Structure 1
């Protein structure tokens, strides 16, 4: 299915801009040194292609295991009314995605989950990481759940 996350009308303030990209660059080496686990949260480094610029982008993102063994990321933006920029990069280039997990770099394909599959994974997500339920309460948009599947 396609990426179709729509913006909401209310939510938390979303960090963005040059300062945020600089912070991401500074945080990524820490994530790598700690094998992708920081303060008890599994974090991967997401490499995408900018949907407008075509430039390489890198963003640390928390992840959870999917029921089928793949990885799930949630476009929560901490409950902001808009999706994070990386969501639009994935939507534009779902086959041009790479992740760093621990000491591995893996080419993946991004797919937004819908319907019953999303609902089942959402229940698993909020059971494992209740902060996402809190983010959902802050906004009126449905937080997109993205599955990252290995491309062999």
Structure 2
């Protein structure tokens, strides 16, 4: 692992990062994504990322959220509802629970997907894969009492 990546993981596992990052990383990602015609996500320089467009659970309106993801070998994605280790589930997870049909922008392409909340052994396998991919997820889970939601996105 490159030294810079180790430092980035250490910083991203801190409570300070959890307090600050949700206020600027998504906004910066959305702006850069829009300005580059969907080709660039700044946070994807650290981790692969998608822009998820899901239907709001209460509003019914499209909600665009930049998210880190774990690309799957079959062309799908694993999304981790860590909320940077903050107490509540991120809003996008509630949106997917109510409206699993969504869309992701991946490398400049808009792709229709269907989300599925993972449970049981399937969730346990996915969680191990997520921790191997980005170890700070363990620090996020240790800070919260809720079980972090994991979703599998499959192409429609």
Identify the TM-score tier after normalising by the shorter chain.
0.7 to 0.9
Aligned to 2:51: 45
Equivalences for residues 7-26 of structure 1 within 5 A = 13=19, 15=22, 23=28, 25-26=30-31
Q: Give the match for residue 138 of structure 2.
A: 133
The two structures have a TM-score, normalised by structure 1, of 0.78
2:33–2:40 CA contact under 8 A, matched in 1: no
Pick the aligned partner of 2:127 from 122, 129, 137: 122
CA distance change for structure 1 residues 139 and 118 in 2, over 3 Å: closer, same or farther? same
Note the aligned Cα RMSD (angstroms): 2.7
Q: Which has the higher contact order (CA 8 A, sep 6+)?
A: 1
Match of 2:61 in 1: 55
- When normalised by structure 2's length, the TM-score is 0.76
Q: What CA distance in whole angstroms lies between the structure 1 residues aligned with 2:105 and 2:55? A: 15
Aligned residues: 138
- The structural deviation recorded for 1:36 is 7.8
Where 2:140 maps in the other structure, the secondary structure is helix
Gaps of 5+ in 1: 1-10
* Unpaired stretches in structure 2, ≥5 consecutive residues: 1-14
